[in-house]
Amino acid sequence: MQIRIACVALVLALLGMAGSAHASFLSGEALDTAADVLAIVVLCIVPIGAIVVFWLVHVLPEKIAEKRHHPQQEAITTLCLLSLVFGGMLWPVAWLWAYTKPVAYRSAYGTDKHEHYFVEMGEKARSGKLLPEEIAHLRDELDEMAARGALPPELRKVRAELDAESAPPAAPAPVPAPSKG
């Protein structure tokens, strides 16, 4: 029993010796300065960061459409911008549209790729980075597009370059023999 009384007395003595508790490691002017800095960050920097992240997420469908050479990427870009105005309600539609395969577009226009794809492939063909089979496939796609309607001037130029590269080199003109006389 005496041990119990001694323990209780020891606990009460330790509690009596305890100093005042501090809720912060800062005090006085330093605490006011830290609170001011925290308020500026929360009121200014956090909303700007949230807006930037919101914007970056909303342009993802546009970036996906560009990467996949979607023929309707301008419309997807417009839908992404409209989604920003309408608080993100149209964003899932833009996301789905960017991942769809435009089957009806191919049947109407002869391709399911954007014009930039053909220009990019034409540049690769010029630099010699495409195999002959890939060049033939590119030529066939451009021919199919031309059969369905007029090719845009940029694609006509690509098609003409493909024809010029595949044409056999012209034989050198015969050199006339020097005449005697």
Residue type, 143: D
* Ranges of the chain whose pLDDT falls below 50: 171
pTM of full prediction above 0.75: no
pLDDT for 168: 53
Q: How many CB atoms lie within 10 A of CB 97?
A: 20
- Residue 170 CB burial class (10 angstroms; 0-12, 13-18, ≥19): exposed
The string of pLDDT tens digits covering residues 133-155 is 888 888 888 888 888 776 788 88
pLDDT for 29: 87
Contact 113, 66 (CB under 8 A): no
Tell me if residue 109 falls in helix, strand or coil. helix
